[in-house]
Structure 1
Amino acid sequence: MSSAIKDIQEIELLRHYHLDKVNPDTWVDEEDLPSWVHDDDINTEHDGQTTPRDRRNYSTDDETSTLSEQVDLLGLVKGNILKSKNVRGDAHLISSTQKSFNPQRYLYVVHADSSYDDLCVGVDQLKASMDQRSSALKVLAQDWGTQRLNSILRESYGKAHEVINPLLERREKIEKLRSTVGLLEPYRLFFNLPNTLQESIKQGKYQQAARDYNKGKVLLAQAFPTSTPSGLSNDNASSSLIETKRKSQLEEPWRGMEEHERNIRLLFELDTTTDPVWHCLSSQFRWIKKIMAESYDEQTILVEELRKSEEYLQSLNLTMSGRTDLFKQILGAVNSNEFENMFAKEPEVKVWLAIYAGVKTLSELLLRLLPDFWKLATAYMEGKIQKVQTQKRRTGVNVVDPQRVVQCHEMVKEIVELYSSQMSFMLIDSLVLEPHEKHNDQQGEDQEHPEALRRENSVMTAFFLGKIVTEVSNCVNDVNGLSLRGGAFLILMDMMQRIRWKFIEIVCEYWGEDAKVFYRHEDWTLQTENSQITLFVGLFYQFHEYCLRSAYKYASIWTAATEDSVPSDDVLAVVPVQFTEKVRKTFLDALYSFLDGLVHLAFADAERTNSHNQDGGHAGAVSLDTLQEGRGAKTIDITQLDSRILITISNLNELRSVTISKLLKDFERTCTISMADDGKTLMEVVDQLDSILFDDYIKRKTVVASRLLTDGILYGGIDWYSASKPTGVNSYMYEALLSLVVVHAQISEIAPPLVSRALSALLVNMAQDCLKCFQQVERFGMGGMLQATLEMEFMNHTLSQYQTPSSDEILQIIYGTIDRAYQSEGGENLQAEMAALKKVLSDARRATQIQFMCFKKPK
């Protein structure tokens, strides 16, 4: 191409793009161009003539630009669009050669009335026109300003070949590798398995390791159906490591049974060569025995240390008064919810609490360990947790080694036997009976004070044995709910039976021993609501009733009768006959012992009674010299035998009418046994004791009156045959009756209900004394007969309130005796003499009505 043509092309290019040089440095907007540029572009006309400048600058591009502005770009409007659309101010907006060209405005001005289909056709025409113009421009400027660029591109192309060719070769290799990896993709797990297993084991993800291992086995079987590659040592080592760690976890007792089962199943998945279930059972069995033995040793050592403590040994030397006071406090609070807290500092209570804590600990330990062990053993024996065997695939039943089944039952039995032996030793052979046996060994050393050798009392013992037997019974019943087989539960039933019987023996023995010396708790404190009896009677009822309930509780507490029995909440077990008979015998013996104690207490030597009660009194008890009730002046000298006997008789009356009847009803209701015959016998004994005490009192009170009557009738110098007619009652009769006034006062002060009974008995005794004396008089004259009759009538009328058939009968015998011994002189007017005698009798009674007012019957 010539340089002239090149220059022309360059000029035209600059002209078309309004540039001043081929390589401009800045961009110039159309608004910034000189006005002549715009004039040329708009193709301004002057009277239809083109100026020389216009003609000089006119070229193909100018023509194209001018035509594009006047001709519709879409080819839908014919002719000049500027004139046809009357375009004026928007000419630059619809000019395609301007930077401000607005397509939307163009369509709005030129094609506002064009249809959618026409516009689609116009678009196609515009695209074809643009393709043609693009081709023309490419032909016009192909090499213009691109030579340097072409050389750069050629150099770049060469360098690109140098860089890209190796990449393309690598890409080809990658594609081949990718294809190969695609073929090996199903086996990717197998190649990563050793590292995966090691990492999972290191992180403790044994379940994940087992799953990956099993996947590897399946993959291996698919890849090598007939042989196994030799390079699998890493996988086998990983499997062995997992197996070792899981087996070690099976030996860890603190892990739950669910975790053990997961480990067992995991080991089965790893095709373990050993039996993980049996390994777990054996390990758990050894650990359970070990932990139970250690716990038992700890509990027994604690109890033994408490028994050997200085505090406990000193408490054995507690004085009688201290023991009496403690016993009453214990008995008064035994039914309180705060009982243990109230006496928590007592050495005896500390020992009992330690024994109970030991029983509770061992029972809870058994209930925590045995259920899981039995659950696993049952699943093992029933074939629910073993590896699937060939026979199971055929029959659906997993066959378990019979020897293993026997061993499982034996292990359960051995655990139960261990618990049973521990309970038996703790509750039967050692801890509970140790002090009691010592008491029996030493009892012969001091027969007079047997209770002084034993600190434990029946109430305290009964309370804690009740807690213990309840704890053991609950444990046995819970174990029964496990449905143990193989005779294991029978061991617990036998243990429970022996514990129940031993507890009954202990409480009954303590019960009986305390009843024998229960009289020592009498402090002669009168009841507030009934001052004729002491608090001692109510105290005995509380003691006797509590021991009865406790003993029967041990006898009747529920335990399963068979291995398959299910306990019922409202049904008690049938109480063995020997249990009930033991309780019944102790119940009656304790009552008899208590009654004997009452008599012993009443007849005890006054000085010894005084010494005992001064030592045995407790806070709040009244002194022995006086018993005061409220603000009254009631004073009772219980150092006197008469006072003690009268109070004891009143207590016996309370026992007969109230207390013993209640106790018999309690026993019948509790033990469902009739006590009619025993009750009848018991009442007879009470009556006998009452008669002994009452007769002793009456006999001693009759002595004074008897001596006065005897001395007066036989030795008072009265000549009953020659005596003159009576003018009054002899003094011996006054004195005899006055002795009864003293008795009346004494009884009224201590036991008012006994006044009538006592005076009636004394009247009979006086009448008998008079009869004996008058029977010794050989003959009576008129005056002697009238004097004897007067005195008998005076005694009878003065004590008329206390007359009984017996006294009346004796009085008639006396009159008959006198009448038979009377020797009449003849000529007496007996009727007149008797009328005169009545006047003397009336005068005598009137004169003594103040002295003998106490004998007058209340209105």
Structure 2
Amino acid sequence: MAPPPVVTGLSPKEGPPGTRVTIRGEFLGNQPNDLIGLTICGCDCLLSAEWKSVNKIIARSGPGKGRGDIIVTTRSGGRGTSTVEFRGYHETIGPMKESAVWVEENLLWSRRSMSPSSYQQEDPLGLSVEENDKKFPEEELHEYFPDGSGDLTSENFTPGWFLLENHHATTFNDLKAGLAFLRRKVDGQKEGQLSFLKKNVGPVMDQVDTLLVLKDKIEQDIQEFGIDPTTKLEKAIREAMEEANKLFEDVLSRRDRADSTRSALALLTRFRFLFTLPTSIEHNIKKGDYDLVINDYARVKNLFGKTDVVVFKKVLAEVEHRIEKFQDMLHARLQQMPISIDEQKRLIRCLVNLETVGDPAWDAVASNAKHVTEQLNKCREEHRNAEVESVSKKSAQKHKNRQTNPDYQNSVPQRILLIEEITEIVTENLPNLWKMGQSYFMGDLYITPNFTRQTTFKHMILSVIETFCKYVREAVLPHTIDKKSLTATSSSSPSQPTTSLAWPVLELDSITEWLPHCLRYVRSSYTMLIKLDLPGEALDIVATLVQDLRMHTLSSLFKQATDKIKLLHKQETWRIEYEGNYGGITDLPFKFEKIIQEVMQLVKESVLISEQRENSLLQNPTSQREFNHLIQVMLCGISGTFEKLAFTNDSANDEDHTSAVSQLIGSPAVNRVEKVNYSTPIFEHRLLTTLANCQFTTKIVLPRLQDLFHKQGYPTPVIAIETAKSTLNTLDKSIMEAYLEQKCDPLVGTIEPSMYIGRFEWDTRNMTNDVSPYVKECLSNLISVQTEVYSISPTLVDKLLKQIVETVAEEISRLMSCVKKFSDQGNIQARVDILTLQDILSPYCTLTAKNFFKEALGVLPKIAPENQKIIDTTLQTSKKRMNLQIQCFHGVVSTQSNGIVL
């Protein structure tokens, strides 16, 4: 039964009789014949209705007047409702408007002027309507005057309607003036006939001319058509009446057919359930409503099972045939795998309710056991054949693939895919088999169980588990297959093949990395079997397999972590990430720590933690020694990684990245301008970054790892931690010495050439007012080194700069001791240079550096008192000029003391 029709929209919403109305809504009929009724304002409009779609109907309104609903009636949904209304009204017909109805002349023309202007006069009061632009609501006018009208020519003309519609904003005084105007106009029309003719001579003459023309036309028609010209008109009217009768007869015949069809349907509806049952069975089977099919079948047997009506017997025979086909379909679906246990129980219940012959419940159990064994054998056969085909190809192109295929090492072996699939097969199907068997023997499958089949069921379970364990060992633990007695599998399993196809011989290292993966899958299956509460005989087979896999997985995980740590230098991005007081470090220590954390967590979760029915692996002393050795090798691997990053010669990058120390004698030191962005920094930056990473790893990462071992319940590897720290400290000293050697020699080597640039001599007679260029260049070079160190590791600035300043002071002392003669001007210049260096570099001057500067000043001749003022003035002037250099050295030190990083 369809929903009843609902009208939700109209266009237009009002009009006179015969208005073409578009009706929109929902459930307006499925087809044209489904539309059996349409009323608009209470008038039947079905004859003019034109069905377009379920949401649209077009019709013409009837003679109804006023507001009313639009009611649509359909055969499928019945009588409908409407949320909108249509307003019908009758128009007043004027002399100039076309109409299909007769116009009463006395209604329009009695006691009215013949002048067209009199009829078409818009405002009889003669008032302005400029202030009445906004019309009064028409709905309210209908409420105030239900039977009235504002049309002057209407029989129901109401003055109040007219005034509200045209003069609702006119003042009372203006209305009085309009009334006086109307009275004068009426009085003016009460003239005699002579006066009327005088005023309307023109229209009267036009009418006379029209009458003469009409008279001539009538005489012409009489001559042409005869005295009775209406004969043809009468014939046409008669023909029209005949056609109208034909149309009416067709409507009546259609109505008769509809009534007869309706009567037949009423009779069929009484026994509709029986006659539609075969189709309903097919429809419900397609939808999967099996319970509805069974209920309908039981109902029809109760109602018509003993009937003697021939038609009913034919229908019942058809129903029985459909039910037999339904039973065959259910039985075939019950044995069609895979299928869920709930679906199987549902099918068994349906077959039992249909009184099917046989034992469908045991058929379901046997089908599950057969399906699991077939899936295991098929899976093993497919993956074994795939690996046999691929081994020969890989061995022939092994070297080529490793060079051209980056995913060669990451391709999953077929035997690993086998373990994934057979564990999924066991995990998904064995619970169904076990639960179906338990339900069968507990009597939950709607059939009385046969307890003699318990031994057969146990044999099914053991056969599946033994086959599963054998295939796992053949794939990843072939060296253990000889120690396990699995001959009973082939002899006790009728469905298992008697011959065993061996896997291709592979190196164990090629599958060792997949052992953790396999262990997770096998353990998940083992956990599932424990939850099923299987017999201990079956669980022991899987427990032995899990123990062997754990032993191999332990060493595999630590070996993988060690290999990852040794390859960390390939993942170095050299992107600086500041971390507290340990300078600029990269993410390499964090990656190292993350690898250790991951492998510790993975080993703990997948290997060390003993689950139900499993023994601990570290109870054996030999296993403990092996564990400690693996930890030590893994932790010490980071030292080799740092060493590769620090000292590996990258000639392609170092060739273009020159030293930050100025190599242009006599020109101020400038930082190099890199034309290309290199992913790998220059050698000095690598040394500093690696040095910061070493210190951070030694002081932060290793202690955190030691705490992590303790928190996660591992035996604390004290010896392994101390060995790793010792290795990192040795590497730290080597890196620092390499950096100082890289920076000190170029920087000190530029002092002497820059000092004597331009053939400068210390016995010069030229008076100076500034420090020498070599001092500025030396300071600029030191600032460059300081900036470089500070940008990477601020904590190393003080330690490195002090050693470099000692070397600079020693070189200045040496150069001054080699000068043979100083003039007064040269003496002043030398003292200004040395004092400037000593003062600006005072934050990094150690006792040794101060002694070197003191020795350099001691070599100079004594200064005259009058020249001391020149030295003081020059020092003050140069300090003002070199304020930026002073801030570079003194500002960094002050911020370091306050713990601030610029």
TM-score by length of 2: 0.41
Q: Which has the larger radius of gyration?
A: 1
Report which of the two has the higher share of strand: 2
Report which of the two has the higher share of helix: 1
Q: Select the structure with the greater relative contact order (CA < 8 A; seq sep ≥ 6).
A: 1
